[in-house]
Structure 1
Amino acid sequence: MGALDIETLVPAIVAADFKTLEPHLLTLEKHLTLRTYIAGYDLSDADKKVWSALRNNKVAIGLIRKGQFASVTRWFNHIEQAHPEVKEEAVPKPNKNKGGANYNIPLPNAENGVVTRFPPEPSGYMHIGHTKAALLNDYFANEAFDGKMILRFDDTNPSKEKQEYQDSIVEDTKNLGVKIDRITHTSDYFKEIYEHAQKLIKSGNAYADDTEPEIQKEDRMNRRASKCRDRPAEESLAMLEEMKNGTELGRKHCIRARIQFDSSNGAMRDPIIYRFPNWADKAPAPHHRTGWEWNIYPTYDFACPIVDSLEGVTHALRTTEYADRNEQYHWFLNALDIRRVNLWEFSRINFIRTFLSKRKLSKVVDSGKVSGWDDPRMPTVRGILRRGLTTAALREFMVKQGPSRNIVNMDWHALWATNKRILDPVVPRFTAIEKQDAILATLTGGPEAPYYEDRPRHQKNPDVGKKSVRFSSKVWLEQADVLTLAPEEEFTLMQWGNAIVKGLDKASAPIKELQLQLHLEGDFKKTEKKITWLSENPDLLEVELWDFDYLITKDSLDPEDNLDDFLNPKTESMSLALCDPTVKELKAGEFLQLERKGYFRVDKAAGEGPEGRAVLFKVPAGGK
């Protein structure tokens, strides 16, 4: 490949978005395949200009970081590492607080650096509702600013948490393309948090309370002070020690912050900051990281601001459901006199006909309604990625929701439409014929002997490659297509030419035979029907085509709804199909489009599925 037109390429990259960037990266990818530098054997002005343009395009940085264009990624990283002066010379990355923002998401007080954190509880698998928090934290730390992001596990409730869940969240976060600078745990700081509780008690800002839980709840609801509120600090400290040791006396107590029992904000009415685990009907078990070292655990509301401060978090992103607790968050920082943290709110995201309750999700898994947490009908990260959602589409969609403060039920169609727009320019096209009642039609005027031609896998994108197409005098057609034809009707065999129906008997169903006259001189623009076909071929690949529906029949479940009353009785369907032999080259996780059938993701490659079949999952297209 010759020299690149840098003067055209650079401004094109700068102005490009998800839809228009890919062709430019493909051009660059081909050019750099066997090159270390864009021009010559050392750093050139062309390298500097293109590197700077890519660095200042947040979409490009995301794709490069994921390695989607291997040669571009290799070149980009080499320039950055071997020529650090380029980074200093480059125009600063656009800051979303300083105008020119693609998403117009403000982040206050970011001029001195940005450190964000994603703090999931390891009590279940990561789902679509969590992805917004993960991706927004990643966006601010690694795209909008040159910051850092912490993945911190809020492991303060051993009755619900498992190592299995923690491992799955790490894997899912990485699969989302999130750049994690370090992984931490609230349990890493149990000693420091305990010492901060002691500090609060000594300063008169916390006390030990042995009020019965129901009475305590009533007191808080009615804005009444606890009978223990004025307990001497020495006594409360002694009770904290009893709690830590797990004594019988200690187990009657909890520790509460002494804020304002009669506040109009319920979160400020002396909240609990230390308690024993609520095992309910479960037998006590050790913490999955600290074992039996601790008998008591801090609440999330108490631990979170402390650990945020200790870890250097500058901006804590929280959903609007925490709005009432923001005042409490800042109270803890002030009362303990520790480093302040900025809070930034975003709305929780829900989707129609989707439930995100861990209890309900566990129920459909345990009951066998789905095959597991990665079932493509599940709203878990691994479920939606397995269904065929790309991380690029999910990232674009979630970041665009960032400024919104309104909690709404989103329609999946919008997300899948974004996904389709990303897949369409780069996904190879193939043909599949439903195997049930498929008809082997005979073509008069067809080739005397089968022959092959190389055809593009994508009519509009030659970089997708080519496929070998077989032509012969016998072709497979689908029963449903043949039923629409009439004697003497002229129609188009897609990517070949026209044919005329010569022998068709619809008296018996299914139709078994069909005679066609090949009419290549016919005008395909004048035919009403364009039909897919496959030439008779012993190498045709048998595949399973799967499609899925929502798990529930109601747009949004109310708290009092019984899940079983709204479970969809039929949520999956499968048909066998004959497919282009070249589909066997595709690996699990790759995408394809089957002409007139839609987009599919390879769940199991040829040879890996039942009886050696490939298993393909249909990817929703986003249409109503």
Structure 2
Amino acid sequence: MQIRVSYRGWARHIRDLQRNFPFRKWPSIQNVTQEPCEETPQDQAKLEGLLPGAEVGKVCTRFPPEPSGYLHIGHAKAAMLNNHYARHYKGKLILRFDDTNPTKEKLEFVENIMKDLATLQVKPDQVSHTSDYFDQLQSAMEDLIKKGKAYVDDTDQETMRAERDKGTASKSRSLPVEENLRRWAEMLKGSEEGLKMCVRGKMDMQNNNKCLRDPVFYRCKVDLPHHRHGTKYKAYPTYDFACPVVDALEGVTHALRTIEYKDREAQYKWVLEATGSRKVELVEFAKTQFSYTILSKRKLAWFVDNGHVDGWDDPRFPTVQGVMRRGMTVEGLQEFVLTQGMSKATNMMEWDKIWAINKQKIDPVVPRYPAVADDAAVLHLDGPAEPASKMEKKHPKNDELGERLLLQSKDIYIEQEDAAAIEEGEQVTLLHWGNAYVDKITRANGKVTELKGRLNIEGNVKDTKKKIHWVPKLDQQVTPAILREFDHLVTKPKMEDEDDVANLINPTSVVDTQAIGDPLLKTLPKGFKIQLERDRLR
């Protein structure tokens, strides 16, 4: 049996444990199945009154992911915010796949984005694809070329980048409309000449905002067929051109975008005006950033493609499926998003906050079971002679979870750290059983190998300083388990675009501990969610 756990989410709990004893591999949670109790976020951010001109029944938002990877926690925030406003204003949410780059997109990603949104309880009112509008986009671009608002450029990428940086106009910028249309036709055919071309908006090459220095709006892609249209199209629009045009075509009233797109706001508005499209309000919010975390789909794909992780759902990944495998709940994510709201302040966050929110959702509703590391010491008690059993609550503070069978035996396993802290003659409390005196302790090679004691069931638990969890020593019935601890995937707190992740891999991002689990653990179905007990020794 393998139990996946995470330390990062339980910072305060773990710090308490580490302060009391040097133990770094005990988890407190796996995942959650039960419905969490409802709590009102105490630090919920302001969410209302932030959409200009919003009217009940008329608001339309959109979530436009590119199907080039799985959704990560940043996408989850965007999806939930768009969904929130669509529902709050009794409006409409569009899920639109931005499928304009066939070299990176796959049907697998489309299917998993749909799966993740269902997990997040985000239900779009309409599902569309940017590729649904390829014909309209081509027509709109051809119209811009005819109006002299766009031109077809054969400048190579490196030279174009240098010219845009310096504000130098391309030699193709002054070509006549007829030549631009001829080149455009070659692009649409995907000819040898057309493959060397791209279409650029004719904006302002001297503008201080470099996003307005004649950005690329169309380029040729013939390396791979489109996952929906095969080889029908050879020229594809860029996001900067397609997004505003399709937003207008689909009736989007408010386009929510992260603040990183702020420099492109004027470009977005230029496209709407140049194409004669209806107005769309832009609303920015802060990009989600976590320390020691990769959010670039390109870099996440590198880890997947090179076998450094199990897949896009690896618990070390910030993907929706990854954090869910690690123990996140939808309710925890929802509350986290509400606390962030539409703030424009971009901060590097630690994972502690989101995991602390999640713990509040999990702790009251998930059954607790004991387990000990396999270097446990054996405590021999003076009874019972034969294994006994009784019914015990699955959670000490939640009767609604019901009861479970608790097996008792004269020999029990206790954690090595617990055993090392006990003194001969001391009375301790065995959780869910009662008190016991420890009369003799045997050590070898720096570890406790066995202890001998006697039960004192009538003893008062308030008289003991140490409350100890335990597992009955029933060799044919205990549950062998692997406790898996996850750490950060990379060793650098803040990732930069130019970083080579191959040089930043954390070699100890996964640590496994062999363990002995409660006999009842083996009866639980796959996917069942539990907490493993670990009480303090003070």
Listed one character per residue, the Cα deviations across residues 178-227 of structure 1 (whole Å, up to 9, x for unaligned) are 11222211111100100111121222322222344444333332333333
CA distance 1:211–1:511, shift in 2 (3 Å)? closer
Secondary structure of the structure 2 residue equivalent to 1:500: strand
Q: Measure, in 1, the Cα distance between the counterparts of 2:450 and 2:418.
A: 13
CA distance 1:169–1:101, shift in 2 (3 Å)? closer
User: What residue in structure 2 maps to residue 452 of structure 1?
Assistant: 389
Map of 1:19-168 to 2, 5 A cutoff?
A: 103-104=47-48, 106-112=50-56, 113-142=58-87, 144-168=88-112
Matched, 1:486 2:423: yes
Q: Measure, in 2, the Cα distance between the counterparts of 1:369 and 1:275.
A: 33
Say whether the 8 Å CA contact 1:474–1:536 is kept in structure 2: yes
Matched, 1:591 2:529: yes
User: What residue in structure 1 maps to residue 234 of structure 2?
Assistant: 295
Listed one character per residue, the Cα deviations across residues 332-378 of structure 1 (whole Å, up to 9, x for unaligned) are 11122222111110111111111222333233333332222222112
Listed one character per residue, the Cα deviations across residues 56-95 of structure 1 (whole Å, up to 9, x for unaligned) are xxxxxxxxxxx9769xxxxxxxxxxxxxxxxxxxxxxxxx
Matched, 1:322 2:287: no
Letter of the structure 1 residue corresponding to residue 66 of structure 2: E
Letter of the structure 2 residue corresponding to residue 200 of structure 1: L
Listed one character per residue, the Cα deviations across residues 296-315 of structure 1 (whole Å, up to 9, x for unaligned) are 11111000011111111111
User: What residue in structure 1 maps to residue 206 of structure 2?
Assistant: 262
Q: Aligned residues, how many?
A: 496
User: What residue in structure 1 maps to residue 127 of structure 2?
Assistant: 183
Secondary structure of the structure 2 residue equivalent to 1:242: helix
Secondary structure of the structure 2 residue equivalent to 1:399: helix
User: What residue in structure 1 maps to residue 321 of structure 2?
Assistant: 382
User: What residue in structure 2 maps to residue 566 of structure 1?
Assistant: 504
Letter of the structure 1 residue corresponding to residue 480 of structure 2: E
Counterpart selection for 1:170 from 92, 110, 114: 114
Deviation at 1:387, TM superposition (A): 0.9
Matched, 1:354 2:293: yes
Counterpart selection for 2:351 from 407, 412, 429: 412
Deviation at 1:104, TM superposition (A): 4.8
Letter of the structure 2 residue corresponding to residue 539 of structure 1: Q
Deviation at 1:103, TM superposition (A): 4.3
Listed one character per residue, the Cα deviations across residues 505-535 of structure 1 (whole Å, up to 9, x for unaligned) are 2255544432111112322212111111123
Counterpart selection for 1:367 from 306, 309, 331: 306
Q: Measure, in 2, the Cα distance between the counterparts of 1:218 and 1:593.
A: 57
CA distance 1:425–1:103, shift in 2 (3 Å)? farther
Letter of the structure 2 residue corresponding to residue 547 of structure 1: E
Q: Measure, in 1, the Cα distance between the counterparts of 2:313 and 2:320.
A: 8
CA distance 1:68–1:338, shift in 2 (3 Å)? farther
Letter of the structure 1 residue corresponding to residue 485 of structure 2: D
Say whether the 8 Å CA contact 1:353–1:552 is kept in structure 2: yes
Say whether the 8 Å CA contact 1:135–1:399 is kept in structure 2: no
Instruction: Give the TM-score, by structure 1 length.
Output: 0.75
In structure 1, runs of 5+ residues without a counterpart are 1-66, 71-99, 599-624
User: What residue in structure 2 maps to residue 39 of structure 1?
Assistant: none
Instruction: Give the TM-score, by structure 2 length.
Output: 0.86
Q: Measure, in 2, the Cα distance between the counterparts of 1:105 and 1:591.
A: 39
User: What residue in structure 1 maps to residue 41 of structure 2?
Assistant: none
Letter of the structure 1 residue corresponding to residue 534 of structure 2: R
Say whether the 8 Å CA contact 2:94–2:124 is kept in structure 1: yes
User: What residue in structure 2 maps to residue 233 of structure 1?
Assistant: 177
User: What residue in structure 2 maps to residue 88 of structure 1?
Assistant: none
Q: Measure, in 2, the Cα distance between the counterparts of 1:490 and 1:238.
A: 92
Map of 1:239-258 to 2, 5 A cutoff?
A: 239-258=183-202
Secondary structure of the structure 2 residue equivalent to 1:192: helix
Q: Measure, in 1, the Cα distance between the counterparts of 2:500 and 2:212.
A: 34
Listed one character per residue, the Cα deviations across residues 460-506 of structure 1 (whole Å, up to 9, x for unaligned) are 11111111112333322223321221111111111222111112222
Say whether the 8 Å CA contact 1:122–1:166 is kept in structure 2: yes
User: What residue in structure 2 maps to residue 582 of structure 1?
Assistant: 520
Say whether the 8 Å CA contact 1:126–1:169 is kept in structure 2: yes
Say whether the 8 Å CA contact 2:257–2:284 is kept in structure 1: yes
Say whether the 8 Å CA contact 2:148–2:177 is kept in structure 1: yes
CA distance 1:597–1:346, shift in 2 (3 Å)? farther
Say whether the 8 Å CA contact 2:62–2:255 is kept in structure 1: yes
Q: Measure, in 1, the Cα distance between the counterparts of 2:226 and 2:334.
A: 34
Q: Measure, in 2, the Cα distance between the counterparts of 1:318 and 1:533.
A: 52
Matched, 1:332 2:271: yes
CA distance 1:259–1:102, shift in 2 (3 Å)? closer
Greater helix share, 1 or 2? 1
Letter of the structure 1 residue corresponding to residue 307 of structure 2: G
Counterpart selection for 2:369 from 430, 437, 448: 430
Letter of the structure 2 residue corresponding to residue 131 of structure 1: A
After TM superposition, the structure 1 stretch with the greater mean CA deviation from structure 2, 101-110 or 498-507, is 101-110
Deviation at 1:424, TM superposition (A): 1.0
CA distance 1:410–1:307, shift in 2 (3 Å)? same
Deviation at 1:102, TM superposition (A): 6.0
Secondary structure of the structure 1 residue equivalent to 2:530: strand
CA distance 1:597–1:341, shift in 2 (3 Å)? farther
User: What residue in structure 2 maps to residue 464 of structure 1?
Assistant: 401
Counterpart selection for 2:440 from 503, 512, 519: 503
In structure 2, runs of 5+ residues without a counterpart are 1-32, 37-43
Q: Measure, in 1, the Cα distance between the counterparts of 2:177 and 2:526.
A: 62
After TM superposition, the structure 1 stretch with the greater mean CA deviation from structure 2, 222-231 or 454-463, is 222-231
Counterpart selection for 2:460 from 516, 523, 526: 523
CA distance 1:448–1:102, shift in 2 (3 Å)? farther
After TM superposition, the structure 1 stretch with the greater mean CA deviation from structure 2, 576-585 or 476-485, is 576-585
CA distance 1:565–1:589, shift in 2 (3 Å)? same
Q: Measure, in 1, the Cα distance between the counterparts of 2:49 and 2:482.
A: 44
Q: Measure, in 2, the Cα distance between the counterparts of 1:597 and 1:448.
A: 27
Letter of the structure 1 residue corresponding to residue 100 of structure 2: T
After TM superposition, the structure 1 stretch with the greater mean CA deviation from structure 2, 559-568 or 529-538, is 559-568
Q: Measure, in 2, the Cα distance between the counterparts of 1:565 and 1:229.
A: 42
User: What residue in structure 2 maps to residue 77 of structure 1?
Assistant: none
CA distance 1:177–1:353, shift in 2 (3 Å)? same
Q: Measure, in 1, the Cα distance between the counterparts of 2:381 and 2:193.
A: 90
Letter of the structure 2 residue corresponding to residue 155 of structure 1: D
Q: Measure, in 1, the Cα distance between the counterparts of 2:444 and 2:197.
A: 83
CA distance 1:508–1:214, shift in 2 (3 Å)? closer
CA distance 1:225–1:478, shift in 2 (3 Å)? closer
Q: Measure, in 2, the Cα distance between the counterparts of 1:254 and 1:507.
A: 75
Say whether the 8 Å CA contact 2:45–2:339 is kept in structure 1: no
Deviation at 1:414, TM superposition (A): 0.5
